[in-house]
Structure 1
Amino acid sequence: MKQPILDVPRETEERLRSFVALLQRWNARINLTAERNAEDLWQRHVLDSLQLAPLLPDRSSPLVDLGSGAGFPGLILAMATGHETHLIESDRRKSAFLIEASRALALRHVTVHPKRIEAATLPKATILTARALAPLTTLLGYAASILAPDGVALFPKGRSVEQELTDAARDWIMRVERIPSRTDPAATILRISEIRPAGSPI
């Protein structure tokens, strides 16, 4: 079946399809995603990740993706944009998949960090992503230490987004843009910048 795709060049689409095929082969041996068939993988993960690409600032390199799992959204964005990308994944099996996928797809601009976020040595990022990893307050703590001063964080969130924003406002000052998800009517993408601890000087 030919799955719909967001507007990307043919070469990128072919690489994305090769990635999904590789993911399916690995999924037959180890549990990387709950979805198994190509159509579900495209809709639930690939297209959901690709919708972040137009939201990246022009200066979107390097990109750091926290808790990359099977490559969503970080590896997908690396394929779509070509930006220097750092994927952080502490699970040994998932990081092995990310390393193999980067090699098989010739993604020389991708670096996989098979360790915990706190232990990773990273460049200051101009873009930070994380999907289904942690509550917003926790993510902002990472963002404050990883992002460059003019950096932007993109965090897809589900139905709990307003409560997470309320909780985060107790500890953090930030500029927030809410962008409706194009793949899930119950989801919102948070585009966050100017992050600093509450009570800190401007």
Structure 2
Amino acid sequence: MIKAKTSFTKNDFAQNMSVSRETLEKLSQYSELVRQRQEQVNLVGPNTLGDIWCRHMLDSAQLFNLINDKNARIIDLGSGAGFPGLVLSIMGSSSVFLVESNKKKCRFLSEVVRATNCSAVVHNGRIEAYNDARDFDYIIARALAPLDRLLKLSFSLDRGQARCLFLKGRNYEQELIQAKKKWNMDVQIHKSLSFTLSSSAEKEFRGVVLEINNLRLKDG
């Protein structure tokens, strides 16, 4: 179990995720680009930059073990700064599609893809307008929208065929209650690896990963 600490380093990340030296170097390049471009593009919450290896890298990387298939086709909805999709691509997922409507963020994503030589594909456009005919194995999202909205977007892409992995925070239980009014689904709740006691205000917070499959609208 990862111990809570105020300064979770890249070496802590490497130890807990068992990544190669080459992968760690590419993730380091990525984190440095986030720092360099933050003021221009507003990629992440400014107060989270000091804990980027836990709050963003580890939080994203934990999905790699849940997917456990480097060839799985993955679509990251509202990818933003690339968390979690870019992290998965750098770690070895061979088929990751990043959908983001903000042009500046898409330019940043493309910059990271070039710098790290990963295989992620960047798509600049709204999720609602995405009409690629690929069949995806996983739909992932982080800090994008309430669960009910995520399920609606996911269902519009593949009619409930893919498995969904959504990183959620303190309101996940309420979001599940609301979503279940409209949707039937099978849900597994995984405690987040990135839980950290970074401040007393967060002591009661437990982040989770919601793993959802067999998604379908309720009758009526």
TM more than 0.5: yes
**How far off its partner does 1:35 sit?**
3.3
Which of 114, 117, 133 aligns to 2:127? It is 117
Which of 135, 141, 159 aligns to 2:152? It is 141
Contact 1:126–1:148 (CA under 8 A) maintained in structure 2: no
Show the 5 A alignment for 1:47-196. Answer: 47-58=58-69, 61-107=72-118, 109-122=119-132, 123-147=134-158, 150-184=161-195, 185-196=205-216
Contact 2:70–2:92 (CA under 8 A) maintained in structure 1: no
Instruction: Give me the CA root mean square deviation.
Output: 2.1
Contact 2:75–2:138 (CA under 8 A) maintained in structure 1: yes
- Count of matched residue positions in the alignment of Structure 1 and Structure 2: 199
Partner of 1:197: 217
**Unmatched runs of 5 consecutive residues or more in structure 2:** 1-6, 196-204
2: CA distance, partners of 1:145 / 1:60: 23
2: CA distance, partners of 1:146 / 1:126: 11
In structure 2, the CA distance between the partners of 1:58 and 1:35, relative to structure 1 (3 Å rule), is: same
Contact 1:20–1:38 (CA under 8 A) maintained in structure 2: no
| TM-score of the pair, normalised by structure 1 | 0.90
Q: What secondary structure does 1:32 align onto? A: coil
2:90 alignment partner AA = M
2: CA distance, partners of 1:121 / 1:114: 12
**How far off its partner does 1:151 sit?**
2.1
In structure 2, the CA distance between the partners of 1:60 and 1:173, relative to structure 1 (3 Å rule), is: farther
**How far off its partner does 1:162 sit?**
1.1
Contact 1:59–1:126 (CA under 8 A) maintained in structure 2: no
Q: Per-residue CA shift, 1:23-76, capped at 9, x if unaligned?
A: 211124332122378642112111111111111153762100001010000111
- Runs of 4+ deviating beyond 6 Å: none
Partner of 2:56: 45
Q: What secondary structure does 2:83 align onto? A: coil
More off after superposition, 66-75 vs 7-16: 7-16
In structure 2, the CA distance between the partners of 1:80 and 1:147, relative to structure 1 (3 Å rule), is: farther
1: CA distance, partners of 2:178 / 2:214: 18
Bigger share in helix: 2
| TM-score of the pair, normalised by structure 2 | 0.83
2: CA distance, partners of 1:66 / 1:79: 17
2: CA distance, partners of 1:39 / 1:181: 19
**How far off its partner does 1:143 sit?**
1.6
**Unmatched runs of 5 consecutive residues or more in structure 1:** none
Identical-residue share of aligned pairs (%): 37
